[in-house]
Amino acid sequence: MSYVEFQGISKQFGETLAVEDLDISIAQGEFFSLLGPSGCGKSTTLRMLAGFVTPTTGQIHVHGRDITRLPPEARDIGIVFQNYAIFPHMTVYDNIAFGLVERNMTKRDIRRKVEAALEQVGMSGYERRFERELSGGQKQRVALARVLVIEPEILLLDEPLSALDKKMREEMKFWIKEIQRSVGITTIYVTHDQSEALTMSDRIAVMEGGRVLQVGTPVEIYEYPASRFVAEFIGESNLLSGRVQEVTDGRCEIDLGPAAVPAQAPSGAPLSEGSEVALLIRPEMIRLHKVSEDEAPMLEGRIAEEVYQGSLRRYQVETAGQKLTVEVANRPDLPLRSAGEAVALYWNTESGVVVR
């Protein structure tokens, strides 16, 4: 049973349609990400759930209750903003106590809960600090404590890592996920960073132009993208345009011009022969060596460029009229190639995914 349910949600701002006919259901305790480029409607979607924006059409249900027109304070939803929105005129203690004061708790209960919340986020001893005396990561922790202390039904995170430097971001990514798991709170995470979404989420909705393009687990989104946009937005991709030549139960043959290669047929509507499709192969799936004696190369090409990146080497390979990116792990058992060399490209049939 779904816990948070968007039903036919649209939002129009003047002439522009920010969110169009959105249907999403999120399970209790799930870590759900809204992923997309800026202006895709993900923030508007989050703000509709928080109650700062009223949908033009549609309904939002939380735990079976219609909250579409409730004011934010009546929703029992906690939100952490991109800039953390720590109240600068209050101490850390008063910031965290804010929601508890609104709930008319006694001073003693407030003290106990604030102390527990600070402990939970590893910020004990910072009670009397002000916002300007905190680092980015500490503000993040305070913002999260301030929200978790009121024990909301849902936690909303609006690009909470984008204001941090790279190292801090990596650290906080795992820390947030850990806190979320230990509290078990249903979490909706808005981000434009695909690596954050992939590492943290149970499921991801990829959005573009106000629409949801695909909803799925990180594995589904990465390995079986439903469209060219998703394939290109998530991770690095090689997309080869071709034509469907033959379809036989679960397998198909794609004509790429110089050669035809076998591939896995996509789920959903069956492919029709002769239709224009793209074949997606991730750079790390392509090999420059064969794994069995009788493996035949999928394509042949010539190395145009080689870039050394420490743990791996990236090659640009010219083949079938375009350039493919190939990533080869930097291991002693794999052959080294240099620019100008003719190479054969291998990959497992199931690594080639047909994208409509």
Partner 1 sequence: MTEIAATTPAPVKSGGLGLRQSQFKWLLVVPLIVFFCIFFVIPVGLIFATSFNPSAIGQVAPTADITLENYIRFFSRSNYLMAAGRSVVLGVVVALVTLIVAYPMAFVIAKTRHPGRNTTLLILVLAAMQLDMVIRLYGMMVILGDNGLINQMLLGLGLTSEDAPVQLMYNFLGVVLGLVQFALPFMILTLVGVIRGIDPSLEEAARALGASRRRAFFRVTLPMSMPGILSGSLLVFALSISSYIVPALMGGFRVGVLPIHIFQQVAEGARFQFGATIAVILFLLSAGAIAIYLRVGARRSGGLA
Where on the chain is the footprint of partner 1 (CB under 8 A)? 50-52, 71-73, 75, 77-79, 81-83, 85, 87-89, 91, 98-99, 102-103, 130, 132, 146-147, 150
Select 146 or 173, whichever has its Cβ closest to partner 1.
146
Select 77 or 286, whichever has its Cβ closest to partner 1.
77
Q: How far is the CB of 98 from partner 1 (least distance, A)?
A: 5
Select 87 or 174, whichever has its Cβ closest to partner 1.
87
Select 92 or 256, whichever has its Cβ closest to partner 1.
92
Instruction: Spell out the residues 6+ positions from residue 117 whose beta carbon is closer than 8 angstroms to its own.
Output: 96, 145, 146, 148, 149
Q: Phi and psi dihedrals of 45, rounded to 5?
A: -60, -45
Select 80 or 263, whichever has its Cβ closest to partner 1.
80
Cα radius of gyration rounded to whole Å, the chain: 25
Q: How far is the CB of 89 from partner 1 (least distance, A)?
A: 5
Instruction: Spell out the residues 6+ positions from residue 52 whose beta carbon is closer than 8 angstroms to its own.
Output: 72
Select 132 or 167, whichever has its Cβ closest to partner 1.
132
What region, left, alpha or beta, does residue 79 occupy, with left being phi > 0 and alpha being psi -120 to 50 degrees? beta
Q: 145: burial class by Cβ within 10 Å (0-12, 13-18, 19+)?
A: buried
Instruction: Spell out the residues 6+ positions from residue 16 whose beta carbon is closer than 8 angstroms to its own.
Output: none
HSE, side-chain direction, 13 A CA sphere, residue 119:
6
Give SS3 for 85: coil
Separation CA 110–CA 98 (nearest Å): 9
Q: How far is the CB of 162 from partner 1 (least distance, A)?
A: 14
Q: How far is the CB of 38 from partner 1 (least distance, A)?
A: 17
Separation CA 51–CA 44 (nearest Å): 10
Q: How far is the CB of 51 from partner 1 (least distance, A)?
A: 7
Q: How far is the CB of 356 from partner 1 (least distance, A)?
A: 40
- Contact between 253 and 245 (Cβ < 8 Å): yes
Q: How far is the CB of 47 from partner 1 (least distance, A)?
A: 9
Select 93 or 347, whichever has its Cβ closest to partner 1.
93
